Structure 1
């Protein structure tokens, strides 16, 4: 059994489940931190549901619970987030919501995890940015701005931690092949999208000791789009 412990935020979503499955296949010990409750998890996975990661106090408590259960923490994979398509002139702007779901969740979890990650020989943070945040499009302003903030957080934190064993990187996926995206885009070819299992493989490499030479990277994972 691999002794490394990883915490996966948003672990009940499509990508989160793919990451958990791949991590277990590698023999890693896994904790899932999610706002959703009552979701099934594979045997041996620590499930922390009902956690509002936009609240720094809740994030700190959740990370502490992971360490209490496993006695260590080696990597955090920040998948928790959200998406909304909305034009700037919408009368119910979602900018604050997107920043809370995409940036605050990652920031609060990173800050809560840092004291423990610094104690690991190979502490790792892997954030989920967005390829669509490199150049935004109509209706993508709030989402792209929040994900761009995740990119900047990744770069800044990587620089701050260069004197430690902790690396910080982000993956920038395009469209994920999920049931919801297939429903929303019935005329698209999902074979060109990114399979959650493929993105999970990239994230788990970045979370591994073998990725020690990579930090501050924003890695596009865009399939054939």
Structure 2
């Protein structure tokens, strides 16, 4: 990661913070983009771009251009921004399906489209998306989320083929991530079986590194101990 320039979306969330801090600790420069307001001033190795709705293509493009201008280039995009709702198909609301699509698919699509012209100029352009193991076979209550994450999987594969030889595009597929929110929502679960944010960050940053030059179009399960 030394001297790499990364964009991390959803950078102020539980996983985004770990990915950003780990990358910074390994010598990368990081632009964090989030829907929440920015929490810190810009520096030579870090910039936070807050209050951005990445489901809006114009806002995504402006945020990416701000990051590229600050650092002078981009090497990798890590699309972590997303959302989850547990809702059955029969009893659910159509707005939930639209929201899941916007938060998971459109955020990744819009940011990728904005970043690709910059990434293609890097000697090692990378995109890493966040899919879900739960999208491989949806259980009860997982329909809207699983459908959206399946869309992220297909987006990953399409981009990988379209930009083959220029930019690698992969996705990690976590099971349940061990976060404070998930523990609160599932207090009776065995947390020791979940994948930790740090474990997931290690796989993400590998795919964003020079070492992953031969990997593109991959959907990599990161299931912890489940």
TM-score (norm 1): 0.96
- Give the corresponding residue for 2:109: 107
- CA distance in 1 between partners of 2:93 and 2:134 (Å): 22
How far did 1:40 drift? Answer: 4.8
- CA distance in 2 between partners of 1:40 and 1:193 (Å): 31
Q: How does 1:183-222 map to 2 (within 5 A)?
A: 183-222=184-223
How far did 1:212 drift? Answer: 0.3
How far did 1:198 drift? Answer: 0.6
Q: How does 1:91-170 map to 2 (within 5 A)?
A: 92-93=93-94, 94-164=96-166, 166-170=167-171
How far did 1:189 drift? Answer: 1.1
After the TM superposition, which of the residue ranges 143-152 and 88-97 deviates more from structure 2?
Answer: 88-97
- CA distance in 2 between partners of 1:185 and 1:91 (Å): 21
- Give the corresponding residue for 1:80: 81
Q: How does 1:2-81 map to 2 (within 5 A)?
A: 2-40=2-40, 44-81=45-82
Query: How many residues are matched?
Result: 224
| Contact 2:42-2:48 at 8 Å conserved across structures | no
Q: State the secondary structure of the residue aligned to 2:206.
A: helix
TM-score (norm 2): 0.96
Question: Gaps spanning 5+ residues in structure 1: where?
Answer: none
- CA distance in 2 between partners of 1:96 and 1:35 (Å): 18
Q: State the secondary structure of the residue aligned to 1:30.
A: strand
Structure 1 residues 52-90: Cα deviation after superposition (integer angstroms, max 9, x where no partner): 100101111100000110000000000000000001123
- CA distance in 2 between partners of 1:135 and 1:46 (Å): 38
How far did 1:224 drift? Answer: 0.8
Structure 1 residues 99-127: Cα deviation after superposition (integer angstroms, max 9, x where no partner): 00000000000000000000000000000
